[in-house]
Amino acid sequence: PHTISFPRLKAAQGVNFDPKWFVSDPDFLRLVAILRLSVPYTGMICTAREPAHIRDTVLSFGISQIDAGSNLDLGGYAEQGDATVVEQKTHLDKAQFELGDTRSLDTMVGKLVDNGYIPSFCTSCYRTGRTGEVFMEYAIPGFIQKLCTPNAITTFQEYLCDRASPAVRASGERMIAEEVAKIPDEGVKKMVAERLVLIREQGKRDLYV
């Protein structure tokens, strides 16, 4: 599979579940760890259904996709504002289910940077058809790194320019400088550096490989 998600049963309006069907936190963490070992090249998703401490923990297990600033209320974004800066609150009378992690996107991005992760907003594999078996042809020999790292850096730069708070932008810019310096291929490093200039100084967007 290209991705695997882990939706646990949660409280929802008009729905009653027998507690015996709920998955405990230790079992949930064990499940994520086992699946990561079983499918090392598959994208793994942990949504804001889970509480912050669980999501922070499973990131170290190899979770590769998360959301932040999510709002499940009907019309919730229009009522509460920009998901990048607003801590979201879920109202079960209007939402599908209750959120466990209500941190804003900016808060979550700052947390990732502080923990040494590059927040990537890249969707190039979906847009270019690098999914399923095609993705595996890139992933297993490690060639995907020559695509993922540049795309992660440039999409993160777009976020920093367009949406980040001053504090997150400052820490993010430092991370980008460090990550560019680590790129072993000089040609790729030069390409990324040139694209960062286009994004920062000329307002270019949607640059991906």
Residue 82's pLDDT band (cuts 50, 70, 90): low
- Residue 153: count of CB within 10 angstroms of its CB: 23
77 has pLDDT over 70: no
pLDDT at 188 over 80: yes
Other C-beta atoms lying within 10 Å of the C-beta of residue 146 = 16
Instruction: Output 144 or 121, whichever has higher pLDDT.
Output: 121
190 contacts 131 by C-beta, under 8 angstroms: no
* Phi, psi for residue 37 in degrees, rounded to 5: -65, -30
Torsion of CA 173, 158, 5, 19, to 10 degrees: 70
DSSP-assigned letter for residue 95? S
pTM of the predicted structure, to 2 decimals: 0.84
Average pLDDT, the chain: 88
Q: With cut-offs at 50, 70 and 90, classify the pLDDT of residue 94.
A: low
- Extents of the domains making up the chain: 1-116, 118-209
Tell me the average pLDDT across 14-36: 90
- The percent of residues above 70 in pLDDT, for the chain, comes to 86
For residue 97, the model assigns a pLDDT of 67
pLDDT level of residue 190 (50, 70, 90 thresholds): very high
In the structure, what pLDDT confidence band is assigned to residue 15 with cuts at 50, 70 and 90? confident
Confidence of residue 205 (pLDDT cuts 50, 70, 90): very high
Residue 74 has pLDDT above 80, yes or no: no
Q: Is 129 left (phi over 0), alpha (psi -120 to 50) or beta?
A: left
Pairwise CA distance, residues 154 & 193, whole Å? 9
